[in-house]
Amino acid sequence: MKTTIPGLLMSAAVLGAALFAFAPRPLPAFAATAIQANHLQINGLAKAGTRLVAVGERGVVLLSDDAGASWRRAAVAPDEASTLTEVFFVSPRIGVAVGHDGWIVRTVDGGEHWTEVHFERKRSDPLLSVWGNTDGHIFVTGSFGQLFESRDAGATWTETKTSAGDRHLNAITGDGHGRLVIAGETGTLLRSTDGGATWQKRPVPYEGSLFGALMLADGDWLAYGMRGNVLRSTDQGDTWTHIDSRVGTSYFGATQLADGELVLVGQGGAIVTSRDGGQTFAVRKVGGVQSLAAVLDAGHGELALGGEAGVVLLPLTPPAPAVLPATAARGVAPS
C-alpha cells in the first residue's frame, strides 16, 4: 500500500501535538495580584501582629497589611479546597485555621504560607473553632462533640473527650490562666478551670444553640447565640444570667475593642454594641440580606466585618446625622 506525503505529514503533526500536550513543562510565572475580598464568604478573622487574616469558603486564606483596604491570597499546601471556619494566632507568626473535613492548617510565618497538619479523608464533619495560649497550648472544637488538643503550637494533635456527647461544640475561648469555656448547641456551656484537663457542664437559662463566647477585659464572660440570646457570667463561668440584647436574631461573632466597647454581629447583618461590659446593648444596625460571621478591630478607626459578602469595613463610630438649616427643616429651601 502507498502512503502519501500529505498523510505522513498529518500523522507527524498529530503525534507532535500529543507529545507537546502531555510533556512536563514549567508553568508560566504570574505576578501577584490583589483579590476582591467581597467575592468570597468569610467565616473567620484574626490578627497576626498588625496584619489582618481572613478565612472562608474553598479553603481561601486572605491577608491584608493595610488595615483591610486591599487583600491578597496566602499559599495553602495541599489545597484541599474545604471551607475554613475559624482562624487564631497564638503569636504574630504562629497561627492555626480549621474547617470542614476535619481540616487543620498551620502557619509559622505570619500567614504567608499554611501547611496541612490534619485532614479526615473518610469523615467530613467540620471543625468550628480554635483558641490557644501564647505557650502553644491550642484547642479545636467541632461538630458531634469533637475536641482536639495540641501542646506544640499546632504541629501535632490528639483528640480528647468532654461531657457534651455528640452535641456540636461551636466555639471555645479562654483567659490564658487555665480557665476555658466551650459553647455549643442545646444550651451547652462547658467550663474548665484546669487548662482543659477536665470539663464541667454549667446550667444556663437558655436551652437553644450558642454560637460564640468571649472573655472580657474586666474578667466577665459572655456567650451568645440563637434568637438574640446573650448570657453573661461574673464568676468565671460558674453561673450565667440572661441579657436582653434588644435584637431577636442570631449572633455569630463578637469582639471587644481597646476602649472596652463590645460589638456583636450576626444574622441579616445585625450589629449591636455595649459600653458597660455586656449589661445593656444598643442597636447599631438590624435588617439586611447578608449575614455576618466575624468582627475585628481593623485599625485606622474601622471595624472589619466578615460574612456572606466577604470582608467589609465599617467606621468604629457611626457618622453623626446631617443637620439641616432651620429653614430647610421647615420645608423652605435655603437661599
CATH of the domain at 282: 2.130.10.10
Dist CA 206 CA 208 (whole Å): 6
Task: Check the CA dihedral 18-21-26-28 and report its sign.
Answer: positive
Dist CA 131 CA 307 (whole Å): 20
Tell me if 108 is assigned to some domain.
Answer: yes
Tell me if 328 is assigned to some domain.
Answer: no
Backbone angles phi, psi at 240, to 5 degrees: -135, 145
- Print pLDDT tens along the chain (335 aa): 444 444 433 344 433 433 323 333 333 333 344 566 677 899 999 999 999 999 999 999 999 999 999 999 999 999 999 999 999 999 999 999 999 999 999 999 999 999 999 999 888 899 999 999 999 999 999 999 999 999 999 999 999 989 888 899 999 999 999 999 999 999 999 999 999 999 999 999 999 999 999 999 999 999 999 999 999 999 999 999 999 999 999 999 999 999 999 999 999 999 999 999 999 999 999 888 789 999 999 999 999 999 999 999 999 987 666 554 544 433 333 33
Tell me if 5 is assigned to some domain.
Answer: no
Tell me if 1 is assigned to some domain.
Answer: no
Does the reported pTM lie above 0.75? yes
Domain span including residue 226: 34-316
Tell me if 214 is assigned to some domain.
Answer: yes
Cα–Cα nearest to 204, from 180, 179, 183: 183
Place of cell 467575592: 39
Cα–Cα nearest to 204, from 221, 187, 225, 217: 187
Instruction: Map residue 269 onto helix, strand or coil.
Output: helix
CA atoms within 13 A on the CB side of 286: 15
- Indicate the burial class of 41 (C-beta count within 10 angstroms; 0-12, 13-18, 19 or more): middle
Tell me if 19 is assigned to some domain.
Answer: no
Dist CA 331 CA 326 (whole Å): 9
Place of cell 461574673: 234
Tell me if 194 is assigned to some domain.
Answer: yes
Dist CA 214 CA 56 (whole Å): 21
Tell me if 325 is assigned to some domain.
Answer: no
Place of cell 484574626: 46
Asked if residues 190 and 174 have their Cβ atoms less than 8 Å apart, the reply is no
Query: How many structural domains comprise the chain?
Result: 1
